């Protein structure tokens, strides 16, 4: 019997899974084994440790210790403590990452603070640089919020392709807001190169690492990033709407002038001082009382990263997306889908986005009915996220196989 491309990838998946050094990690997640879950880039799966931790937080910490838990259970310092755990995953030494609020709110803090760093000392002074560059393909909320930040600081905004930021930055550029990985195409942008070029132009950068944190090695310190924001409910598996994080490079912290100086960022919050005096360090990025249940669920979820090497995660991620693309080739009738995710490893995040003529929404709905969960980004993108801690090569194979079946069935029905 001759080997078909399909039978070949089917056998190969089993071999790849058998050789996978991260395979045991899957058991740490609560997953439905009847489903192929390729939407961890939108909502990561629950680590098994979360449910028990939340039960303890509600029953004992809240129910028994009550208000004392702010101190005795470490609730008050959790934003920084959990921030440092995330810091390890995004290449940030302790004391530079704080968890809390949404990504949108953190974009606002970072962009306004970056603009203010270009001002003179006086409060009323106009910024010396009044241009904000925004990634033209950004996840929309970053653009909306950057526009608001610009409006409120007397700046103007200009949309520029991430790859062109270095060239477009000029003497009036205060800050560039760039997505590390494009949410739609999965393109990975050049963080160190863009940061260095912007710095040479006298501007700061704010990186949105929502689609890279936990998916690949992010090296904020080593690559000289100024600010970064990211969410924790994708590759970090923190739970639906888990709080976002803010990174402010240590050298900039003393000049970080937050537009949201809530009492949690005060140097002595319980003095209840009518005058504001900012805390030092990452704490300055806090605003109001953190949503403890969501925050401690995230804390528990981060346990799956203990002992995990992001370099191994990256290697498996690339192997998974390479393999998925080969499976698509093997299973999907030629010419029906086209990958919009870059071939080159250096330009690829941890997802594969396939363009499908018309009816992409229906195709994804049918995939989900058949137990393959990805998502649809209007108008024509089928998006598949690969989360190396729990996605198997067999999942990639099955997803491509079912995709081929669904597309084949649509074409059969049309004839």
Active site residues: 139, 208, 233-234, 383
Of 30 and 309, nearer to its own copies (C-beta) is 30
Residue 163 CA to residue 142 CA, distance in Å, equals: 17
- Both tokens of 32, joined, read 């439905």
Known binding-site residues for pyridoxal 5'-phosphate equal 103-104, 139-142, 208, 211, 233, 263, 289
The token pair that represents 86 in the structure block? 């995330």
CB atoms within 10 A of CB 117: 19
Measure the CA–CA gap between 369 and 176, rounded to whole angstroms.
41
The span from the CA of 89 to the CA of 76, in Å, is 22
Query: CB of 156: closest distance to its own copies in angstroms?
Result: 11
Closer to its own copies at the Cβ: 165 or 330? 165
Give 378 or 415: the residue with its C-beta nearer to its own copies.
378
> Token pair of 406, please?
């669904």
The distance of closest approach from Cβ of residue 145 to its own copies in the complex, given in angstroms and rounded to an integer, is 6
d(C-alpha 395, C-alpha 7), whole Å: 15
Contact 368, 43 (CB under 8 A): no
Cβ count near 186 (within 10 Å) = 27
CA atoms lying within 13 Å on the CB side of residue 276: 12
The minimum distance between CB 171 and its own copies, in angstroms, equals: 22
DSSP string, 214-246: TTS---TTTTT-SEEEE-SSSTT---TT---EE
State the minimum distance, in angstroms, from the CB of residue 385 to its own copies. Answer: 10
Q: Which residue lies nearer to its own copies by CB, 91 or 143?
A: 143
What span, in angstroms and rounded, lies between the C-alpha atoms of 407 and 336? 8
Query: Closer to its own copies at the Cβ: 36 or 403?
Result: 36
CA-to-CA distance for 225 and 207, rounded, in angstroms?
8
DSSP three-state, residue 322: helix
The residues, ordered by sequence, that sit 6+ positions from 148 with a Cβ below 8 Å of its Cβ are: 108
Give whichever of 120 and 276 is closer to its own copies, judged by the CB atom. 276
We find the least distance from the C-beta atom of residue 148 to its own copies, in angstroms, to be 6
The distance of closest approach from Cβ of residue 91 to its own copies in the complex, given in angstroms and rounded to an integer, is: 24
d(C-alpha 406, C-alpha 411), whole Å:
9
Q: Which residues make up each annotated binding site?
A: 103-104, 139-142, 208, 211, 233, 263, 289
Residue 155 neighbours by CB under 8 Å, 6+ apart: 115, 127, 130, 131, 132, 149, 174
- Give the number of other CB atoms < 10 A from CB of residue 135: 27
């Amino acid at each position: 019997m001759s080997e078909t491309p399909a039978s070949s990838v089917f056998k190969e998946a089993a071999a790849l899974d058998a050789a996978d050094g991260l395979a045991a990690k899957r058991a740490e997640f609560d997953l439905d084994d009847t489903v192929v879950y390729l939407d961890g880039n939108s909502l990561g799966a629950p680590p098994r440790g979360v449910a028990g931790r939340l039960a303890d937080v509600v029953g004992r910490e809240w129910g028994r210790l009550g208000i004392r838990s702010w101190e005795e259970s470490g609730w008050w310092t959790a934003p920084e403590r959990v921030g440092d755990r995330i810091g390890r995953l995004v290449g940030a030494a302790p004391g530079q990452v704080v968890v809390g609020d949404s990504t949108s709110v953190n974009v606002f803090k970072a962009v306004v603070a970056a603009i203010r760093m270009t001002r003179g000392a006086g409060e009323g002074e106009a910024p010396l640089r009044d241009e904000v560059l925004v990634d033209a393909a950004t996840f929309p909320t970053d653009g909306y919020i950057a526009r608001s930040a610009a409006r409120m600081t007397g700046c103007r905004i200009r949309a520029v392709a991430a790859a062109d930021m270095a060239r477009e930055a000029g003497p009036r550029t205060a800050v560039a807001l760039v997505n590390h990985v494009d949410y739609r195409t999965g393109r990975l942008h050049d963080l160190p190169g863009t940061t260095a070029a912007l710095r040479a132009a006298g501007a700061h950068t704010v990186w949105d690492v929502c689609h890279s944190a936990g998916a690949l090695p992010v090296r904020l310190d080593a690559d000289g990033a100024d600010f970064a924001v990211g969410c924790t409910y994708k590759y970090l598996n923190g739970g639906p709407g888990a709080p976002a994080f803010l990174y402010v490079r240590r050298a900039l912290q003393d000049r970080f002038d937050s537009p949201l100086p809530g009492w949690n960022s005060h140097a002595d919050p319980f003095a209840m001082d009518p005058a504001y005096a900012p805390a030092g360090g990452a704490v300055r990025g806090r605003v109001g009382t953190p949503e403890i249940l969501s925050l401690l669920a995230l804390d528990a979820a981060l346990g799956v990263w203990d002992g995990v090497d992001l370099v191994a995660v990256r290697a498996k991620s690339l192997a998974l997306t390479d393999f998925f693309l080969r499976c698509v080739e093997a299973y999907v009738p030629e010419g029906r889908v086209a990958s919009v995710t870059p071939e080159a490893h250096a330009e690829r995040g941890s997802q594969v986005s396939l363009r499908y003529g018309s009816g992409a929404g229906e195709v994804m709905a049918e995939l989900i009915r058949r137990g393959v969960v990805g998502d649809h980004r209007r108008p024509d993108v089928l998006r598949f996220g690969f989360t190396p801690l729990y996605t198997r090569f067999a999942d990639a194979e099955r997803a491509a196989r079912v995709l081929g079946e669904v597309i084949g069935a649509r074409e059969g029905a049309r004839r």
